[in-house]
């Protein structure tokens, strides 16, 4: 049995909505088969008001053990560091968050906002939002870079806008069944199982990427062409398993004709790009992509691209059948 407290800060609740669609395992499986005991969840629990306040006090008084503290949304610190923009039971919510993080065996940040601050922490950041242990790509965030939960781990970051539901449910299972030692984190504290490879891995448009065959229109429903060249797809620069663990066990953005917008990376939503051009590949000198796949540089990439385009076989221009 693992006691879970799930709280939210500055959030749209999208990660909760996504989590409810988990399939392997489902949320019901988590409770009935894997011993997850949800002490409180802001949207799902029946308790409210004094009942919740009493539970919070019991956790902080060590009367109820807290195994996993799940946090969704940003920590709101405004105005001027007081946290008064986001109050809970007459206290700034940030104070509750700090105390629960110190009590928990494990702390799990769910979604971009909790991991890095996400959209609310984008400049000028009027709510003074931050992620639990990062502010964008800078380590520290609300809890500080040296924070470790009682079990000795930093915050486990599960980014996404929203998260893929199975990323969360499988991490919760690993913690609840004592297999958290198997959860290796990358240098941004993300579980490697889900974030070691790029979104590009497993994309059905890979053959078009190889031969530099673009898809011309955004959202084009056919499986012809790659979204990197004109539509700004960030699949080769973004760590996620979206094309390996399909959404709803059926599809992914790129399979459906939507470019990856890089939502699992701390720089998301990339508002430093020119406004209105998120779905448009930025170019230099007219044709060279400004950002190229991780591990290469624009010049050598462009030389390679020009050669590939010249020798592309017939199949590079054919529609692909994807069931």
User: Where in 210-229 is the site for ligand SF4 (CB under 6 A)?
Assistant: 226-228
Residue identified by tokens 């969360």 is 168
**What does DSSP say about strands 68-72 and 91-92: parallel, antiparallel, or unpaired?**
unpaired
Give CA–CA dist 221/232, Å, rounded.
Answer: 17
Stretch that binds ligand SF4, among 12-20, 89-97, 250-258, 308-316 (CB under 6 A): 250-258
Least separation in angstroms between residue 261's CB and ligand SF4 is: 4
Residue nearest to ligand SF4 (CB): 235
Q: Where are the beta strands (DSSP E) in 78-202?
A: 87-88, 91-92, 106-110, 129-130, 134-135, 138-139, 156-158
Give CA–CA dist 228/81, Å, rounded.
Answer: 41
Among 121, 168, 260, 316, the residue binding ligand SF4 under the rule CB under 6 A is 260
Among 15, 18, 133, 240, the residue binding ligand SF4 under the rule CB under 6 A is 240
Stretch that binds ligand SF4, among 70-78, 126-134, 201-209, 294-302 (CB under 6 A): 201-209
Q: What is the DSSP string of 182-213?
A: G--B-TTS-BHHHHSSBTTTT-TTHHHHHTT-
157 is a contact residue toward ligand SF4 (CB under 6 A): no
Stretch that binds ligand SF4, among 5-13, 127-135, 195-203, 294-302 (CB under 6 A): 195-203
Radius of gyration over alpha carbons of the chain, in Å? 21
Counting Cα atoms < 13 Å in the Cβ hemisphere of 31 gives 8
Binding site for ligand SF4 (CB under 6 A): 160, 199-200, 203, 205-206, 209, 226-228, 233, 235-236, 238, 240, 242, 252-254, 260-264
Q: Which residues are annotated as a binding site for [4Fe-4S] cluster?
A: 12, 113, 161, 200, 203, 226, 233
Residues that constitute the known binding site: 12, 113, 161, 200, 203, 226, 233, 242, 260, 263
């Amino acid at each position: 049995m693992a006691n879970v407290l799930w709280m939210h800060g500055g959030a749209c609740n999208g990660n909760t909505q996504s989590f409810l669609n988990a399939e392997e395992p489902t949320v019901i499986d988590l409770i009935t088969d894997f011993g997850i005991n949800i002490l409180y969840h802001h949207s799902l629990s029946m308790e409210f008001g004094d009942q919740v306040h009493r539970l919070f006090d019991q956790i902080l008084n060590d009367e109820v053990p807290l195994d996993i503290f799940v946090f969704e949304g940003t920590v709101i610190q405004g105005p001027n560091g007081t946290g008064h923009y986001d109050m809970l039971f007459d206290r700034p919510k940030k104070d509750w968050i700090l105390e629960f993080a110190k009590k928990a065996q494990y702390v799990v940040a769910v979604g971009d906002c909790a991991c890095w601050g996400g959209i609310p922490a984008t400049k000028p950041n009027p709510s003074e939002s931050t992620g639990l242990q990062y502010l964008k790509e800078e380590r520290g965030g609300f809890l500080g870079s040296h924070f470790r939960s009682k079990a000795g781990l930093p915050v486990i970051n599960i980014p996404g806008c929203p998260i893929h539901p199975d990323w969360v449910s499988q991490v919760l299972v690993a913690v609840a069944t004592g297999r958290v030692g198997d959860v290796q984190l990358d240098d941004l504290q993300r579980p490697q199982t889900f974030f070691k490879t790029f979104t590009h891995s497993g994309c059905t448009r890979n053959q078009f990427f190889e031969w530099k065959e673009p898809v011309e229109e955004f959202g084009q429903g056919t499986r012809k062409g790659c979204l990197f060249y004109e539509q700004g797809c960030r699949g080769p620069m973004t760590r996620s398993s979206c094309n390996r663990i399909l959404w709803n066990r059926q599809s992914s953005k790129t399979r459906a004709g939507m470019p990856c917008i890089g939502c699992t990376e701390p720089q998301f939503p990339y508002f430093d790009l020119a406004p209105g051009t998120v779905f448009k590949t930025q170019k230099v000198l007219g044709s060279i992509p400004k950002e190229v796949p991780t591990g290469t540089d624009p010049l050598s990439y462009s030389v390679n691209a020009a050669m590939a385009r010249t020798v592309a076989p017939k199949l590079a221009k054919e529609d692909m059948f994807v069931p």
